[in-house]
Chains A and B, each alone.
Chain A
Amino acid sequence: MVYDLVVIGAGPAGITASIYAARKKMGLLVISKDIGGQTAWSGDIENYTGYQFITGPELTKRFKDHIATYGIQVNEGEDILTLKKDRAIISIRTDNALYQSRSVIIASGKMPKELGVEGEKEFKGKGVAYCATCDGPLFTKKQVAIIGGGNSALDAAIGLERIADKIYIINIEKALTADEVMQDAVKKSSKVTVLNESRIVSVKGNEFVQAIEIEQNNVKRDIAVEGVFVEIGLVPNSGFAEGVDKNSLNEIMVNCVCETNIAGIFAAGDVTNVPEKQIIVAAGEGAKAALSAFRYLINK
């Protein structure tokens, strides 16, 4: 079977693209590792229009309910291995099957970047965590460190503030880069200490994490913590898209109508070079990509 459109990814970009494509009655398949993408892992969301406050898992449930109303086929839990275009047909190989389509939207998003320091791998799940909303409650009344200074880091800090006894924010930049509203919330807390221009050197412990070693002003020192939350940004899931132009960050290059350098292959959301990695921006880009794919198919 050859689909009209295969959407890779089911975060805000992929889901919105699928809804638009379903409404155009395109022969559609969605392939994704999970539903919700990074939205599912977000804590409190207060900047998605129409919702003054919603949590990531709740918004993800709304996404799921929305695509369910269109009866869209979603093959969940599959990893994309390769993507190749031969004449007018694009072949998508996953760890489960081979699919063919006349057009593709890559909306595979990003995944958390790792620290790459000594002890990180050894203590993964033993104090080193990548999801504060998930694993935060295991650090009740403990001392923790958050690595990073952007929105994700401060979102984690705000969540952990209700749980942990003491929070160190280890920020490599001169100042925090998160939204001012979030910075205000963190600065109000007596539990939080922000260490700017500091970097983590290693994670130390025995069975579980006991400390991190940081470097600030060329001085190294240990800070006793039992939890290390890694929030230093993300890398695009674009490795499978061979032949598709990418920038130096491995983001897929798209123009203003979500076209890549290969006709019939579109991209949307955080996997692309479009600035501002926001849920609402990704959703909008997904809509544009679906409409572009629709126009591409009817003009062929």
Chain B
Amino acid sequence: MDKKVITYTTQGCPHCIGLKEFLTEKGISFESIDVSSDPAKADEMVKKSGQMGVPVVDIDGEIIVGFDKDIISQRLGI
């Protein structure tokens, strides 16, 4: 079964753009949350990840901070 993937990003962040491009290229469907326009989701991201930097990826509840292709690929099994 496909894993549930949520990205927490902002608009001006190069690694966020890179992350979303990467997931799209790999054909992974994901929920994209722009924390700049949603303070409640920004708080959710900070609570989940324990830090205040973007991007953050939630893969089936596992939190990855930053755009680390290797770790994300491994967790997604791609």
Contact = CB atoms under 8 A, between A and B. Distances in A.
Chains A and B are bound partners: yes
Contact of A138 (B17, B50, B54, B69): B54
Contacts, number: 65
A60 B14 contact: yes
B10 A57 contact: no
Interface string B53-78: 11000000000010001000000000
Interface string B34-49: 0110010010011000
State which size class the interface on B falls in. 20 to 34
Contacts of A57: 11-14, 17
A78 interface: no
A274 B46 CA distance: 41
B12 A55 contact: yes
B52 interface: yes
A133 interface: yes
Contacts of B54: 134-135, 138
Contacts of A125: 51-53, 65
Interface string B15-48: 1111000000000000000011001001001100
B52 A127 contact: yes
Contacts of A60: 14
Given A41-B14, A134-B15, A140 B42 contact: yes
State which size class the interface on A falls in. 20 to 34
Contact of A137 (B10, B50, B69): B10
B46 A138 contact: yes
A134 B52 contact: no
A137 B52 contact: no
Q: Is the interface of B mostly helix, strand, loop or mixed?
A: helix
A134 B35 contact: no
A34 interface: yes
Contacts of A137: 10, 35-36, 42
Nearest to A37: B14
Contacts of A77: 69
Contacts of A207: 50
Contacts of B53: 125, 129, 134-135, 138
Most buried by B among A41, A129, A138: A138
Nearest to B14: A40
Nearest to A61: B17
Contact of A126 (B12, B16, B51): B51
6 contacts: A55-B12, A57-B11, A133-B12, A134-B10, A138-B54, A227-B52
Interface of B: 10-18, 35-36, 39, 42, 45-46, 50-54, 65, 69
Interface of A: 34, 36, 40-41, 43, 55-57, 60, 77, 125-127, 129, 131, 133-140, 159, 207-208, 227
Given A126-B50, A131-B13, 9 more contacts: A43-B12, A56-B14, A57-B17, A60-B14, A133-B12, A137-B36, A138-B35, A138-B45, A207-B50
**Which 5 A-B pairs have CB atoms at the shortest separation, nearest pair first?**
A137-B36, A133-B12, A134-B13, A40-B14, A125-B51
